[in-house]
Structure 1
Amino acid sequence: MIEMNLDNLEQFLNDILPGEVKLTGIGEIGSLDEQGMKDFGYGKPMLISYEQDGQVKEAVISAMRGDKYGHQFYWDRAAILMFQYETGGKMERHVRPIALGYINKQGKLIPVREPKEFVIVNEKVEGRDYFLDLERIKKGDFRPEDLELAKKFARWLARVHKEKKDDVDLYLRRVRQLIGDSECIWGLIDAYPYPYEHFKEQRFIALEKKLIDWRWKLRKFTHRLSVVHGDFHPWNVLVREGGEFSVLDRSRGEWGEPADDVSTMSCNYLLYGLYDQPKLAGPFEKLYLTFWEEYLEYTGDEEILKVIAPFYVFRGLVIASPEWYPNHPLQVREGLFRFIENVLEDESFDYRNINKYMS
């Protein structure tokens, strides 16, 4: 329940409407309470009465209630209200939206005027993109500090993933997003060329059918919901001297499955390794194994091996995409395709023997 100051509501009306506006009442729909109400509840529309340049008018103010249908967070609900504000007035017979606003932490209503796009401003941090380190290694310059950095990544993830949350519906939402979201597996598949000569339609169909089985398997692991980054890959890490690093572009929410972060970074070691030969070997195999072993040592989370396969499929589809990575040699792309198909076959991922998934 949000407590809203009635004086601020009158100011809000003056901010969004021309002329002089005076609030005269607020209450439930169908029963205006002239005494006013202090509480403004999610999902409970309220009738407001006001005078605009002396003319008596009424309007309805409402917010959304959070629920398990993809509306858990205020940014979910904001997207729905933005859609309604943008499109409601365009439809014949639809009520006309008057204003869009938000309630801040102090309970004050703040108007948003004529939104079209939103921006975010972040601090600037120093560092080089981590993928540049991988490019250096690919060219033959592999250093002891590269392994130490992989260990630091793993220990950092272990600390992040340590915080858990008991929320079955939120875990299921993240699994649903993994399989069916426009930014995740189904959306990535739809973004591939059609038809695509290097991964025929029947292979995509078979892959999707296996993923449905995995979706139901993951329902048994809702206790694993943890704090996550959501997009922890080499292009979202800035590295500084001494092995210090910062991360960018947290994605898809605060909570999720730790396997998402682990798969995202580790599959990029596979990607770079495939540039040398059609399996993981040499420096990138060392990085991959070091990262995995450090993570498991610090978390003890052997259970992650039972859930990570579909997350590897998601990330594998990303880095194999001809749209996102158009310059891969064909053998690299084909190696990634073999991996994402084969990894779904095991009940538990055999991280020590990743090359068995490359045949």
Structure 2
Amino acid sequence: MLDMKLENLENYLKAILPGNVELTGVGEIGSLDEQGMKDFGYGKPMLVKFQQDGQPKQAVISAMKGDKYGHQFYWDRAAILMFQYETGNLMEKHVNPMGMGYIDESGTLVPVKDVKEFFILNEKVEGNDYFLDLERIKDKGIEDKDIQLTKEFARWLARVHSVKSPETDLYERRIRQLLGDSECIFGILDGYPHPYEHFPAERCIALEQKLVSWRWKLRNYSHRLSDVHGDFHPWNVLIKDDGDFYVLDRSRGRWGDPADDVSTMTCNYLLYSLYSGPELKGDFETLYLSLWDTYLEATNDREILEVIAPFYVFRGLVIASPQWYPGHPLEVRQALFRFMEGILDDDVFDYKNINRYLRG
């Protein structure tokens, strides 16, 4: 519950409005019972009365209430309020947005003015991009340190994924995003050229139809909701000189299915292997099996094999994309397309025999 002092609101009004501003009252809409700002922030609009250069004015201040329809987190709600602030006065007859801002932990209303873009500042760490290790392995072969690092990835994922959440609606949301989000399956597929002779419309339709069935299957697995990274691929990992690593760019929220992270990294081992032929083999098969075997040993999560197929489809579409990876030989893309189609036909992923999905 947010219990803010009236002077906080008055200071906010003075920060966003020109002239001499004085707060004269706050209360519920249709009433002006003096009650301070108690309960503000739970979706209840509050009437604000003030004077600006001696002229009486009124405004309504409100915040969104969290719900299970994609508004669970404050950054979800912030996006909607930003949209309303940016576009409200562009529509005929729409009330005029006067200001927006955020409420900090002390109850202070902090204005956000004239926003054009947001940014993030992260610490700088030393390390080399992990994909460069994969390039080295492709050209010169594997070293023992590469296998050990892959096993450490698996043990780290096991620790991260051990944190669980009972919020079933967040699991359903994550699966819904996996299929329908602009950055996920349907969005990535829309980013392909159309028509696209190597993956024509009829194959896109068939793939999407299978995925709808998988969405309803995965509704039965909400107990798997876990702490995840969300974008654990070789371009988001930095390797330190001592062999340890950092990860970058956590994506799509904290909670999801562990299958997301496992599929993301192992799918890239498949990609690198396909550059030497239409199957997973050799050094990259060693890395792939090292991560899988170590992860399953650390977690005993055999259930992951029942849910991972749509996550592999998402990552497969990304790395097969002619927009994101324009330099792939056609044979590499075709193998990835066969993999995505074949994996959806199995109820349980046969990770030790992945090559059978590549044959079509």
The residue aligned with 1:324 is 324
Residues 258 and 304, structure 1, Cα contact 8 Å, conserved in 2: yes
Residues 2 and 41, structure 1, Cα contact 8 Å, conserved in 2: yes
The 5 Å alignment of 1:263-274 reads 263-274=263-274
The 2-side partners of 1:5 and 1:129 are apart by 49
Give structure 1 regions of 4+ aligned residues with deviation exceeding 4 angstroms. none
SS of 2:157's partner is helix
SS of 2:202's partner is helix
The 2-side partners of 1:246 and 1:16 are apart by 41
Q: Is 1:292 paired with 2:286? A: no
Residues 2 and 37, structure 2, Cα contact 8 Å, conserved in 1: no
The residue aligned with 1:38 is 38
C-alpha distance after superposition, 1:196-215 (max 9, x if no partner)? 01111111111000000000
TM-score by length of 1: 0.99
C-alpha distance after superposition, 1:17-59 (max 9, x if no partner)? 0011111111110011235343313211000111111111110
The residue aligned with 2:78 is 78
The residue aligned with 1:172 is 172
Quote how far apart the aligned CAs of 1:242 are: 2.5
C-alpha distance after superposition, 1:296-349 (max 9, x if no partner)? 111110000000000000000000000000001111111111100101011000
The 2-side partners of 1:16 and 1:37 are apart by 19
The residue aligned with 1:229 is 229
Specify whether residues 345 and 58 from structure 1 end up closer, same or farther in structure 2 by C-alpha distance, changes over 3 A only.
Answer: same
Q: Is 1:301 paired with 2:301? A: yes
The 2-side partners of 1:201 and 1:92 are apart by 40
Aligned residue type for 1:254: R
Q: Is 1:245 paired with 2:245? A: yes
Residues 4 and 36, structure 2, Cα contact 8 Å, conserved in 1: no
Q: Is 1:277 paired with 2:246? A: no
CA RMSD of aligned residues (A): 0.8
TM-score by length of 2: 0.98
Aligned residue type for 2:314: F
The residue aligned with 1:213 is 213
The 2-side partners of 1:69 and 1:236 are apart by 30
Provide structure 1 residue ranges, at least 5 long, that are not aligned to the other structure: none
SS of 1:27's partner is strand
Aligned residue type for 2:253: G
Residues 25 and 35, structure 1, Cα contact 8 Å, conserved in 2: no
The residue aligned with 1:188 is 188
SS of 2:303's partner is helix
Provide structure 2 residue ranges, at least 5 long, that are not aligned to the other structure: none
Residues 28 and 45, structure 2, Cα contact 8 Å, conserved in 1: yes
Quote how far apart the aligned CAs of 1:13 are: 0.4
Specify whether residues 133 and 295 from structure 1 end up closer, same or farther in structure 2 by C-alpha distance, changes over 3 A only.
Answer: same
The 1-side partners of 2:351 and 2:342 are apart by 13
C-alpha distance after superposition, 1:155-175 (max 9, x if no partner)? 110000000000111100000
Residues 6 and 38, structure 1, Cα contact 8 Å, conserved in 2: no
Aligned residue type for 1:81: L
Identity %: 69
Q: Is 1:160 paired with 2:160? A: yes
SS of 1:302's partner is coil
